[in-house]
Chains A and B, each alone.
Chain A
Amino acid sequence: MTKIIKYFIFTICLVLTFLVVFQRIQLRAENKQGSNYPLSGKRAGVWNDGQAALWDLNILDHYRLFGSPERARGYKPEQPINFSHVTHVQEKGIECQFCHWNVAKSPYAAIPEVQTCMGCHSIIAGTSEEQKKEINKLKDYSSKGEPIPWEKVHVMPDYVRFNHKRHVKAGVACQSCHGQIPEMETVERVSSMKMGWCIDCHREQASSIDCYVCHK
């Protein structure tokens, strides 16, 4: 009986080691390819001299073994309105802060009010059938006086305090965390947003890595 347990534990250790190594190799490969948006930064120092918790290891997130898919990279929920950042940002050249106006004024980068959308879309009706359909959805919400039930892409746990204002004012580009939003038809989570990921950047930028900077 004890032998079986020993083998079991050994197998698990083996699998874990394999996963870590595999992930490292993959990450290195991704970084070499030079993808459009920066990946999670370098992995060194995740262990934090042994002080990091096991679940902060990127491995658990990457393979979605733990936690929900909403907390992992690649989460791409279907939105009530098929809003395209490609059209708005890449093609029309609208600045991020034109719609997300309070990102530099508040800890939260709020979703723009329906009124903000209607500022343009009371005039702009769209060109293609598809666009017209989506814009009509917006007009429906507006005329009914209902808020649009957007699906949240970046869900953070309750114990985390992230201040958008501080980061934007410090010159951190939106893309560093959110990825190449201008190229996204549907917004997708490109960063793990795990603690190790945050700390990596804080270390690079020589920002404080005191727990109370982010934990509340």
Chain B
Amino acid sequence: MKKKKSLNIIGNTQENTSEDLVSRRSFLKVLGAGTALGLSACADSTKQKIFPDLEGNSAKNPGVAVWYNSTCRECEAGCGISVRTREGRAVKIEGNANHPVNKGSLCATGQAALQGLYDPDRIREPLQKELNKKGQPFFKAISWDKALAQVSSALKGKGANYIIRGEETGSLEKIFDQFSSKFNITQNVWDITSESELAESSKRVFGTYGIPHYKFGKAEVILSFGANFLETWVSPVEFAREFAEAKRKEHPVKFFHVEPRLSMTGSNADLWLKSKPGSEVEIAKYLIAELVKSKKGQNLGSDLMSKISSIASSADLSKAVSTSGISQEKLTSVIDSLVKSKSSLVIAGGTAGSFSNDLLDYVNIINLLLGNVGKTVLPGLLRKPKSNLSEILKTSKELNAKAANLLITYNCDPVLNLPVEAGFEYGVKKSKLHVSFSSHFNETTRLADIILPANTSLESWGDANPRPGVKSLMQPVMQAVFNTKEVGDILIDSSKKAGQSIFENGSFQDYVKAEWLDYGKRLSRTNIEKFWKESLEKGGYFTNPKGQAKIESSGFKPKSKNKKFISPKGIEKDKIVLYPYTSIRDFSGKYANRPWLQELPDPVTKIVWSSWAEIHPKTANRLGLSKGDTVSVSNFYGEVQLPVYTTNYVSENTIAVPVSGTGEQGRYANQAGNGNIFSLLASAYSSEKSLRLLSTEVNVKRSRISRKLVQTQGSDSQLGRGLAETELISEDHSKGHDDHSSHHGKHHEPEQMYKQRTPAIYDWGMNIDLASCTGCSACVVACYAENNISVVGKEVCDQGREMSWLRIERYYDGDEEDPKTSHLPMMCQHCDNAPCEPVCPVYATYHTEEGLNAMVYNRCVGTRYCGNNCSYKVRRFNWFEFDWPEPLNLQINPDVTKRVAGVMEKCTFCIQRINEAKDTAKDEGRLVRDGEVQPACAQTCPTKAITFGNRKDPDSNVSKLGAADRAYKVLDHHLNTQPSVTYLKDRRYKV
């Protein structure tokens, strides 16, 4: 029998000498061969050792989780996180309930930060590039001393020095500034998702640099031009929460979304308007003209109004209709809703916003005209990004012109996501010493001469200021997994070695503490040490900011010229516009090596493990392509191979491609096999501050090689089964005609075949509000993290054997131009009449005393009858035993069994959390309180669409919601399965 490192982590640190489970499979073999003959087959040892701690304290209680509050640094939103650690290792990330930005929720990417920490392909020690005998470069491990000595000697050398880094805030940014001023280093910030164009536009129109704080909760009508605020735009968790709150109101928010490709955000719109790429400017302009016509913005001042009028004068309805392809009727209904509403919010961003700065300016003007500024748009009250394209292009030019003495890169990947034309790669190769502080490999780090691996954010001290009034603290949640150092410490140590120390009093931890003690003094706290400790415990210091930025809109100049797509040489016919977009699975291409995110189906296309090209069927027909073909997307600059996904919900003559990282990052990214879509972008040497994603025309033809397209959902249609139901509400807020449920109606009580159970104290049930669910898939990742669900890889996913206990089904109703998309989270329904239970020959699945459909793994013999008989197809069979390559195995939750091959598994309603809550309740001599048990999915849901509780208790939230008008149970009226999960119908306006 194959020897295996055990993942069973119980009590103190243990090490197994071999398999920890008595192999169930081998046992069966024994039974088959005859009892007496099987003696040797089970002879494998289960010897284990226990290593007690050297020193103990009450906080280190083996078997009891310790939580640390910190800050998520996966994107710039600055959500607070609480990290659950067991026996000194981080096992789960959840949102910090105290934090004003995310209030306890966290997105998929934020939770997957754990897999960044435990990435098996992480840089484990300082590396130096050397050449082997054949002259090929390879990385050789060196000591920290040696590596730091090289950096410090370069710091003393002559010539130009550069730092290129990602967006940082707080103390780390400060120490970077100190370091670069001390050693005379030019500093550049580069991050393609920094949304700096929003801050620029705010400067032009409102006079304040910085991203405005958008208040989605206060708006009655929202119009978005391609800003995917529920996915990656600015602060998705916060916006999703506020959007859902607005949707849950008695008169829900009305949401219009204009974009060329149906995004997850667009799929939540009441009216989705399919526009041709780049045409959003015309619509915005027409909107301004209409608003001016309807006498909006009378209080804005004549100077400003004259400028606005000059923009309005060039607007034209026919042009708006013809360039965008959106009918006049629909445009009028959008404008009508906006004009009538008391408060509204108009936003633009993402790919559309990157194409044209005019669009962003126009949208800000529309908000001025509608009187939203100060209500739903608070200028300058979110972060101020530093990322600047023109400056990094300038640096790139300088690097090419003259070899740099020292180039430091950290937390950025300009070689991947700068246009090829910038020639950044050559500049990097030219520099005398290129030092990377990266903790993971990427395209830029691969070119480094020396790599000083930095700790990830979960191993580091630091702080973040996501917005005024919110000062968020970061602390290490565990010891560094590898021989790495905090980036602050690398800077301090190398400056010390170079003889000009930037911080004398210790490490970066002391630096952060000194900053906070200083901050405490400024707040005139008497006991600043206590202030530090309190902030550390809470995860930061949070207040409500007072006052608002003044609006001095004078700076903007309406431009007459419209942006055009760049048609590089070599393209004659079949002009197709490339529409790259950021997705929740990979943001800017940084997170390609995280298996959870790779195996997470895209919320709209349900594709896993690779990037793809969305093409309209008509365009595909013209090009002779069909779904599953591989195309080569090329232009003058490069070529990318992508599998084709044909969909009606993309504009014609457009090829929509998600931004993704390349295989340089590691094994999982390599398995996904993405191409570098940035290599096609041509907007080099522009004066704009951010990269124009939407700018280029490409040639599309069938490729010679083939790439597999793996999709986890078969049918796009509900086939009239009423799975995800929608309640249509009409303009006057009265309830309209239901599109699905009416023909089912209230059915008579069916005669029961099985004995009906009556749970004694607890009857666990769940409630999912489809009006709140946006499809963001944070719950799916939470489920993977909590329940040790195996990641199976592209091949096995293709066979339909993915292991996710919780999936989100996406269905389309309505026509091609006006789709109504439904997202339906589907997990084990814990049916009271469970079809899986009576068919199990070995009683491995049964009903518990508390109304749960339970699964006893070691009793399961793998007949898969239950899976076949399940009406919801939520049971997953372990066809293989999947491994967690080291150190990914450290993430495994010790409270949940790691399943072996041959066993069926499914959602347990997080039984371990129920047991924990019952345990605490018993200690305190009471029953479990309502809301005390939160399964991982409900805990992390940004919109709080999932409620869990005791159905036996009539006062619990889950009972109350279960009795609501909108409540229904999936397939119950057909099958009488009596699920414990109740869904609340989606609510959409009939537009």
Contacts and interface: CB of A to CB of B under 8 A. Distances in A.
Given A106-B62, A157-B21, A211-B856, A148 B52 contact: yes
A148 B13 CA distance: 11
Interface string A99-118: 00110011111111111100
Interface string B22-50: 10000100100011101100111111111
A111 B46 CA distance: 19
Q: Which bucket holds chain B's interface residue count?
A: 35 or more
Contacts of A158: 8, 20-21, 897-898
Contacts of B754: none
A96 interface: no
B858 interface: yes
B50 A111 contact: yes
Contacts, number: 160
Contacts of B911: 212, 216
B858 A102 contact: no
B860 to A, nearest CB: 10
Interface in B1-24: 8, 10-14, 20-22
Contacts of A161: 895, 912, 915
B61 interface: yes
Interface stretch (A24-32, A61-69, A125-133): A61-69
B27 A66 contact: yes
A53 interface: yes
Nearest to A13: B35
Contacts of A149: 49-51
Contacts of A53: 842, 859
A98 interface: no
B187 to A, nearest CB: 42
Interface string B846-886: 10111010101111000000000000000000000000000
Contact of A150 (B8, B22, B52, B53): B52
B530 interface: no
Interface in B545-597: none
A110 B49 CA distance: 12
A151 B842 CA distance: 35
A116 B47 contact: no
A166 interface: yes
Interface residues of A, number: 53
B20 A148 contact: no
Given A152-B48, A158-B21, A216-B911, A66 B54 contact: no
Contacts of A70: 45-48
Contact of B11 (A108, A115, A211): A108
A159 B21 contact: yes
A93 B829 CA distance: 54
A211 B854 contact: yes
B52 A110 contact: yes
Nearest to B914: A212
A96 B10 CA distance: 20
Contact of A113 (B14, B44, B49, B54): B54
A50 B15 CA distance: 37
A105 B57 CA distance: 13
A155 B898 CA distance: 16
B991 interface: no
Q: Would you call the interface of chain B mostly helix, strand, loop, or mixed?
A: loop
A169 B34 CA distance: 45
A120 B523 CA distance: 48
Contacts of A66: 22, 27, 30, 38, 42
Contact of A215 (B34, B55, B857): B857
A108 B10 contact: yes
B9 to A, nearest CB: 10
Q: For B11, B895, B898, which residue has the most chain A Cβ atoms within 10 angstroms? A: B11
Contacts of B751: none
A83 to B, nearest CB: 12
A45 interface: no
A128 to B, nearest CB: 25
B51 A216 contact: no
A55 interface: yes
B693 to A, nearest CB: 47
A8 B850 CA distance: 46
B19 to A, nearest CB: 10
Contacts of A155: 46-48
Given A53-B859, A70-B47, A212-B911, A113 B53 contact: yes
Given A51-B843, A216-B896, A111 B52 contact: yes
B63 interface: yes
Nearest to B900: A158
Contact of B912 (A110, A166, A210, A216): A216
Contact of A212 (B46, B848, B859): B848
B85 to A, nearest CB: 14
A21 interface: no
A152 B21 CA distance: 15
Interface string A1-24: 000000010001001100000000
A160 B722 CA distance: 40
Nearest to A67: B22
A51 B15 CA distance: 34
A71 B854 CA distance: 26
Contact of B42 (A67, A111, A212): A67
Nearest to B39: A65
Q: Which among B35, B44, B919 has the greatest number of chain A C-beta atoms within 10 A?
A: B35
Nearest to A50: B843
A145 interface: yes
Contacts of B34: 8, 12
Contacts of B11: 108-111
A163 B30 CA distance: 32
A165 interface: yes
Contact of B63 (A107, A148, A215): A107
B975 interface: no
A182 to B, nearest CB: 21
A90 interface: no
Contact of B43 (A68, A108, A211): A68
Contacts of B10: 108, 156
A114 B44 CA distance: 31
B922 interface: yes
A208 interface: yes
B878 to A, nearest CB: 13
Contacts of B20: 157-158
B64 interface: yes
Nearest to B35: A12
Contacts of A107: 63-64
A159 B51 contact: no
B55 A113 contact: yes
A159 to B, nearest CB: 4
B34 to A, nearest CB: 7
B714 interface: no
Contacts of B47: 68, 70, 77, 151-152, 155
Contacts of B850: 210, 212
A196 to B, nearest CB: 13
Contacts of B919: 163, 165-166
Contacts of A157: 20-22, 858
Given A66-B27, A70-B45, A114-B53, 20 more contacts: A65-B39, A102-B61, A102-B62, A102-B64, A106-B62, A107-B64, A110-B62, A112-B52, A147-B13, A148-B51, A149-B50, A152-B49, A157-B22, A159-B21, A211-B846, A211-B854, A211-B859, A212-B850, A212-B915, A216-B915
25 contacts: A12-B34, A12-B35, A12-B36, A66-B22, A66-B27, A67-B42, A70-B47, A77-B47, A101-B56, A105-B61, A106-B61, A108-B12, A114-B52, A115-B56, A147-B52, A149-B51, A155-B46, A155-B47, A156-B10, A159-B21, A165-B919, A210-B848, A210-B849, A212-B911, A215-B854
Q: Which 3 A-B pairs have the closest CB atoms?
A: A108-B63, A106-B63, A113-B56
Interface of A: 8, 12, 15-16, 51, 53, 55, 65-68, 70-71, 77, 101-102, 105-116, 142, 145-152, 155-159, 161, 163, 165-166, 169, 208, 210-212, 215-216
